[in-house]
Structure 1
Amino acid sequence: MNFRFAIISDPHVAVPHTIWNHPHRFHLVEVSILALERVLNHLEQLNLDFLLLPGDLTQDGEPDNHNWLQKRLQSLPFPVYVVPGNHDIPSLSPTERTIGFQEFPSYYRHCGYGEDHLYYSQEILPGVRIIALNSNQFNGEGKQLGCLDEAQLTWLEELLPQVKDQLLLVMIHHNVIEHLPGQTHHELGQRYMLDNAPLLLKMLRSAHCQLIFTGHLHVQDVAYDQGIYEITTGSLVSYPHPYRIIEVKRPPHSSLTLNVTSHRVDSVPGWENLGAISRQWLGDRSFPFMVKLLTASPLKVSVEEAEKLAPFLRDFWSDVAAGDGLFDFPDFPPPIRQYFQQFSAIKADGTPALIDNQAVLNL
């Protein structure tokens, strides 16, 4: 079993006339088309077996953006598989600006969707199966949630025993395994987590599934929990503008290995120093976010102290997003210093665990 595939996450495609400015927006949708074309041009030169896009395909679910993307994906020389992100179907019903929840599959019939469900499964190579899940739901008040609905769970429960002898690649937008310290319960991190993640993990373990691919968080991170790796890929329109190429190999009489290689879009026309520009963009918008992080549980720093510390954290989120970060702020009070050290890519024995960007994972 040898194959190669790529991952592009959260490209937030925005054709020019749909772009709207938001003063607190962290990502640069202005470069979405340029960056995506740069990546696709690279991938088209490789002998890829398929491409995964784990959600937030568009800026905010605009029909023109879905139309542009589905046509571009259809022109590629390899299959593409997608799932919706929260930005792709931001409302249950269509509006003047966005498509509705049930319309999404009709745009991506050539990207995995054979029916009108927002989830699907296919054997995409001999012995290799994609299980594409929809983590976007709405409550009675129309508020968007990150969870799997009962119908999808029932479908998955029936499917897994039939396919557990295959290599299962699960793709879903929301995170299933934590990528940040205390993410499940943190007021800033939990909205990126799947609400019923423990249930999904239990089901996947019963089927010997070892691989989950997610997006949403806009960071490069590889997390591991009780036999399952979750590879989340940063946003193509946010620092460091990453994408991944993964080679899967199973030599005779040996275990399966994943060779994970990450690439970055460092420049596009008109944005020749894209990495530096987007890092500064994030830094310029970091102050309110860092104050919120410092004043939230578990730190609960006073606003006055948070405003003093926040400037030292100007590039903190950029470094988290880049993956493989090693953090220490020795001038911070000990409890606060220890909190931020937890974000470091460190093993239990204190040595660096630099697997977020380049890694060989043995299954």
Structure 2
Amino acid sequence: MALVLTEEQSMLRDSARGLISDKAPVSHLRHLRDTKDATGFSREFWKEFAEMGFAGLLVAEEFGGSGLGFVEAGVVMEEIGRTLMPSPFLSSAVLAASALSRGGSAAQKSEHLPRISSGALIAALAVDEGSKHRPLQTALKAVRSGNGFRLSGAKALVVDGHVADLFIVAARTAGSPGERDGVTLFLVDPKAKGLSTERTIMVDAHNAARIDFDQVEIDADHVLGEVDQGFALLEGVLNIGRGAVASEMVGLSEEVFSRTVTYLKERKQFGRAIGEFQALQHRAAQLYIDIEITRAAVLKALQALDGQFDKAAAAVAVAKARAGTTATRAVQEGVQMHGGMGMTDQFDIGFFMKRARVCEELFGDANYHADQLARMRSY
């Protein structure tokens, strides 16, 4: 398949770019940070965003969505990366919608997917429990109790968990941390007795949460997928999230590159624009090449998720690892080429640098995915 967008996908990109750049530029994130906004994103804009159909991109038409694919979701994520737009799109419209669509019962889909599609319900995926992404190390306990389960433990770095109306929680119903078997996904009400949520504002001014479970009772009807066999479903959803975050990093990298090139043309030193110096031209050219190669790798991964989902893991690992290293290089070059001013809060480059660092960690950094790829290839 050609590594280019179709006409329809290009139109979707243009629509998303116009809306996001107009309503949620970087100054929007800066305002939310400076005012210490309690939500961390604009609910008014999220409503408008959902009315445009973006919240339902991955939801089937029968549940009020568009029934589009992961390439289309990646297109929107790339535009989000350009302006660092804070929103529940990743957590709710991508991760939660995918989990429910792929593993939910008919009743669960009918109850939750229409509300996710309309933007009325915000759902969040709770997986990690430590400082690094290690889904196999899931240790939160789910013990059988009556007609359901009792959850005990904690989750960290739950993106948008502080505003979620529904949690999708990975818990261990059997086995030990490190084993694939024994992981089960649960749909959990944030208001359930014994559950507490602590908002954690990340370094990039986006939001996550820490969730503590103290003997939280869950009915058997709230199991998502199969008991003890939820890791395959979880890994598939995480791969979708990895492709989405990689797309965001492509948009972030390209925006940083564009801003840096503009600065190289405007900033003068020794009577010349600094962009005339060959050393900086070489560095800019190399960054451009890196971004284009990464864009192709990410699009290939998204196409694999759409076409051969069960065989897409390797392509996704390459894309996430590559996107992380490219975004890191882009923001480092951007800050350095802006000189000392690049380190000040006056310039927006610092916002991109911080977001790139968070995106690198989300769902596994470059080292994690290099290791995963080596294991897939039996190295």
TM-score, with structure 1 as normaliser? 0.31
Q: Which has the larger radius of gyration?
A: 2
TM-score, with structure 2 as normaliser? 0.30
